[in-house]
Structures are given as C-alpha cells and as structure tokens.
Structure 1
Amino acid sequence: MRIGVIGAGPWAHTAAGPALTAHPDIEFVGVWARRPEQAQDLGTEVFDDVDSLIDAVDAVAFAVPPTVQAELATKALDRGKHVLLDKPIAGTLDDARRLVDAVDRAGVMSMVTLTRRFAPETREFLASLDGHDWAAATGTWLSGALLGGEYSSSTWRQEGGALMDVGPHVFDLLDCALGPITDVVSTRRDVETDTWSITLAHEDKTSSVVLSMRTPVMPSVLKVVVSGDGGVRELSDRTTAAVECYRVLLDEFLESVRTGVPHACSAQRGLHLQEVIEKVLRLKPPRR
C-alpha cells in the first residue's frame, strides 16, 4: 500500500516515519508539512503541496494538530483515501462528527493511533480481565512532557493540555476495562500543574482518572488498576516503544483495508472518545 504522511513534528519522526519506512508491505511515498524543512530527514520525498501528496497515495497518515487534521483528513476522504488519524481526531465534537460522516461517505477504512492499545503488555492486561465482574477502576497518566522536551513546543498540546493529549489513551483503556463510558460525573483541574481529576460513569460502575503533563516526574507514569471479583489487575508497563506499537497498528490497518472490516480503533472509536472529552469540558470544572 502507498501511504503518505501529513505533518513533520515529533510524532512523525519518532513513530510514523520510521514505522512506515521499515514496513515490508508499505511504500512510504512522501510527506507534506507546513514547514517543509522539518520533513527533510524523514527519508522520503517532500511534497510541495498537500493535494499532490493525497493524489499520490492510497492512504494518508496524520501527524498534525487536531484542528488541522479534521480539515485535511476530510479532504483526503473526499478523494477516497484511507486514513490513519492521530488522537483526538478533531478540535471539537462537531468537527469530529463531520469527520466520521466523511469516513462513512467514502466507504474507506480508518484507524486512530491509540498507541498503547497495540502494545503486547496492554493486550495481556486486557485479556486478563475476561471472565470476571470488575467493579471499579482508576487510570493515571502523569508526565512532564509539557515542561520541556520535544513535545513542549507543541502549541495545541500546551493549549489542550493533558485532557486532549493523553486523556484519549486513558479513557480508551478504562472503557475497554469496565465497558462503555456513559457519562462524566465530576471534574476538577489544578491550573498550575494542569492536573485533571475526573470521575467517569460506566453503566452501573465508575472509574476515576488523574491526568497531567506538567508534573515533574521521570519516567512518565501510566497506570490502570481494576478491582472486582477477580481481585486486582494492574497495567503499569510501558516498555514497548511507540514505533513498535505503530508497526503493529500498520499490520492491523492493512488487514482492515484488505478485509473491509472496520477496526476496533476506527474513527468511530475516536468520536466516542471525543464525546467524553466534550462532556468533561462542559462540566466547567472548579479550579484551584
């Protein structure tokens, strides 16, 4: 399959570009970026305009801010291209809905890069939950990524903070563990550290979430703990690198395209997670 990348930020260099280059069943056709000089070292052709890139490929992978992604992905979908979307899939819920409508109209396959879902340690954890009635769960993601480092210069991450960037990952895992998130019960945000404390409803169960990307901790902390009649299960392992997760994602994306069967992490999944984000924002959390 011929795939091109839109965007040349840290994610393109760390995960998408290397994984596409190394995959035996993919031709990494090229990249388009608003700042073409940032794309020079991705080892592929740098296109002068986005339309030329879209026309040259079968699928487009995105590594751009969510507000930009919604517009450009719709452009690709209108030309019948499959899409690999970053999370969150759009800047607003309305844009996310329009994007999913475009996927449905095009009749193509989509996938959202919920990276940790493609790690073997995550899959082992989720498989261990089968056959039990879990009563509650907690999800935590704490990092200092916005205090310094390659992602700290990302404007959309600085503005959206942990809720927009790592929130979808944690919401997704809790949704898998306890069943679909149906509502947001409460939220609180510490502005200085951008620490979100959120309570989620899952039908007849609840989970709690703590998120921050401005907490000085190294390495980052990702922990999901589930409790119930099966005792306690914990996921705290992040040893699988993002590029390896992306390789597995590509394998499953190709299989989805081949069979015509939407993946569990399709754009529809992205819309569900965007709905959760919107419910958090609508509660207007008290600040400290």
Structure 2
Amino acid sequence: MGLRFGLLGTGYWARETQGAALAAHPEVELVGVWGRDPAKAADLAGHLGSRPYDDVDALIADVDAVAIALPPNVQGDLALRAARAGRHLLLDKPVSLGLDVADELVAEVESRGLASVVFFTNRFSDNVNEFLRTATSEGGWHGARATLFASIFQPGNPYGASPWRREKGGLWDVGPHLLSVVLPVLGPVEEVTALNGPRDSVHLLTRHRDGAVGSFSVTLDAAPEAGAFAIDLYGEPGWRSVPGGDRSAAEAFGVAIDRLLTQAKGDLGDPCDLRFGRDVVAVLVAAEESARSGRTVHVAEATGSDPVTSG
C-alpha cells in the first residue's frame, strides 16, 4: 500500500493535473476526493476511481497526506487543519494570500516534522533545475528581467472563470512562477517597488540581498496579441534565458509527489517546501502593499493577511 492521499478540490486543475497524477502514481493510494460542491466531488472521484467525501475532516482523518487544488484563500485554512492532524502537505502556489497563514503553516509543519512541497510547476522539470544549478554556480548575476503576460479571460480558457484570479490578478497567479526561478539565483528579496498598469498589469522592481535588481511585469489580462512568457538573467556571464519546463503539468506533479514521498520516508527538506512558499508570499504581499501605497516596501515589514472568505 502506498502513501494514502486525499485530494481537496474538484476543478480543472484538480482533475487534469493533481488528480490525474495521483491516480497514476504507483506509490500512492488515492483514498478520496472532497470539494465544496458534493456533486462535483462525486463526479471527480468516479472519474479517478476513488471515493467522494462530504466531510473534509473525515477525509483528512483517513489519509497520510493531502494534495490541495483550491483557491489560495481557501487552501490556507484547510492546509492548517491537515497539518494539525499530522498530515503531509502537497500544496498549490501561492500557499496563501497573506503572511499570517503562511507563517502558521511553516510553524505547524516544522514543529511536527511533516513533509511539504509547494507546486511551482516548472521547478519540477529537470531542464529548469539544471539551468538554475548552473546559473547559481556561475554567479555574478546583476539582475533579472521578466514579462509574464497571459490572457486567460478569453472564451474557452479553463481558468478564466476563477474569481480569485480575477480579483488578485497576475501578481498572485503567475508571479509565484517567476519568483520560483529567480529567487534561487538572485537570492532573497529585501525590498519591492510596484506600480499598477493598464489591463490589470503589475510592474515591480525587486532589490535582492546581494544587490541584484529584478524588473518584472505580469498580468492575466493581456491583449491576446501581447502574450509573453520570458524570464532572463543578466550579469557578468552575459544574458541567459530561463527555459520553460520540459514536462507537462501532470508529469511535473508526479515529480512533486515523488519529492513529497522522499520526505515522508524521513529525508525532510525540499527546495520548494513550505518555507520557500512562505518567502514567495512575503514578496507578493510587499508588492501589493507597494502598489497600493505608492512607496517602496521592505519585505521584512510586509504585514498582509488572508482575507476573510465565504467558503
């Protein structure tokens, strides 16, 4: 019998990425599926050959680990409930919409010796990780430049109906992907300056601990002809373009499962664990505060908290 998993969430991502990978993994037993809509939970559980649960705490009680495919304002509370029950965590990015929940999650996981992985999709492709290892060993980087312009609100896009993406925009949805490949090379962010722009874009400058500077632009509502996904490093070695991942999302999630299993067997620690996920949230909170206040925000001073949700 493999590690017993519960899947929380019933949307497109839960079905096509997390659920597909969990159901196919040879070292996982997908015990059940829970969702905020019981009918959708029943449908997805049937599709995956698993069992629907009406009570999320009952599912948490029956498993060793949870995979969560829910909006970040919902994910945080459920992840805390699972961690307090002693369950390992495989979370989506961002782990929460504020530092209060992110800090609580880190404290719970570390105090209980639990495994944790946050799924930054491209960080689970070998070509991206090899690029980051090489770039880090080279050193001498002065900064990064990136444009992540998506256009998800066009007809037929599976993510366009997501209320949290409409509210929080590209900063919180694609921003984590950007930070997940920049932070390992440039190091921790100390301060952020951000501006809001046309089509719900956010433009930010990041100053990193060793003096490097990042310049980033993100949106989910770009003009269809203006889509772009490019991340470049520059410095003494010249210019380097960060590659896209060489795995599909479901294949990458299978690697994330592998890395959680390794930790669950006693080898705790992962480059994309909850502490790293928390540090990404801290940068996003600082950027949001900067755009709102019109001033530079030191990441250590960011105080954002998760909004109250209605379920």
Please indicate the TM-score interval, normalised by the length of the shorter structure. over 0.9
**Aligned pair partner of 1:30 in 29, 32, 47:** 32
Equivalent positions of 1:8-19 (< 5 A) are 8-19=10-21
Distance 1:218 1:110 in 2: 38
User: Aligned residue pairs: how many?
Assistant: 285
| Corresponding residue of 2:195 | 188
User: Do the aligned partners of residues 7 and 218 (structure 1) sit closer, same or farther apart at CA in structure 2, a change above 3 Å counting?
Assistant: farther
Spell out, residue by residue over 1:48-91, the C-alpha distance to the aligned partner (whole angstroms, 9 max, x if none).
Answer: 11011101110001011112111111111111100111111112
Q: Is the 8 A contact 1:143 1:218 kept in 2?
A: no
Q: Is the 8 A contact 1:222 1:238 kept in 2?
A: no
Q: TM-score with structure 2 length normalisation?
A: 0.86
Distance 1:251 1:99 in 2: 21
Q: Is the 8 A contact 1:80 1:106 kept in 2?
A: yes
Aligned residue identity for 1:230:
P
1:78 counterpart = 2:80: no
Distance 1:220 1:284 in 2: 23
| Corresponding residue of 1:175 | 183
| Corresponding residue of 2:280 | 273
Aligned residue identity for 2:171:
L
Spell out, residue by residue over 1:131-152, the C-alpha distance to the aligned partner (whole angstroms, 9 max, x if none).
Answer: 2311121122111113441111
Distance 2:80 2:291 in 1: 30
| Corresponding residue of 1:254 | 261
Q: TM-score with structure 1 length normalisation?
A: 0.93
Shift of 1:11: 1.2
Percent identity reads 33
| Corresponding residue of 2:208 | 202
User: Do the aligned partners of residues 93 and 146 (structure 1) sit closer, same or farther apart at CA in structure 2, a change above 3 Å counting?
Assistant: farther
| Corresponding residue of 2:74 | 68
User: Do the aligned partners of residues 238 and 69 (structure 1) sit closer, same or farther apart at CA in structure 2, a change above 3 Å counting?
Assistant: same
Q: What residue ranges of structure 1 are gaps of 5+ in the alignment?
A: none
Shift of 1:102: 1.9
Distance 2:293 2:84 in 1: 41
| Corresponding residue of 2:302 | none
Aligned residue identity for 2:144:
A
Distance 1:77 1:172 in 2: 23
Spell out, residue by residue over 1:179-223, the C-alpha distance to the aligned partner (whole angstroms, 9 max, x if none).
Answer: 222221x21112x51111100011211011110111134795322
SS of 1:68 mapped into structure 2: helix
Structural RMSD (CA):
1.8
Q: Which moved more, 1:260-269 or 1:124-133?
A: 124-133
Q: Is the 8 A contact 2:116 2:273 kept in 1?
A: yes
Aligned residue identity for 2:115:
M
Q: Which moved more, 1:99-108 or 1:26-35?
A: 99-108
Q: Is the 8 A contact 1:125 1:233 kept in 2?
A: no
Aligned residue identity for 1:126:
L
User: Do the aligned partners of residues 265 and 21 (structure 1) sit closer, same or farther apart at CA in structure 2, a change above 3 Å counting?
Assistant: same
Distance 2:292 2:213 in 1: 18
Shift of 1:127: 2.7
Distance 1:141 1:28 in 2: 34
**Aligned pair partner of 1:116 in 122, 135, 140:** 122
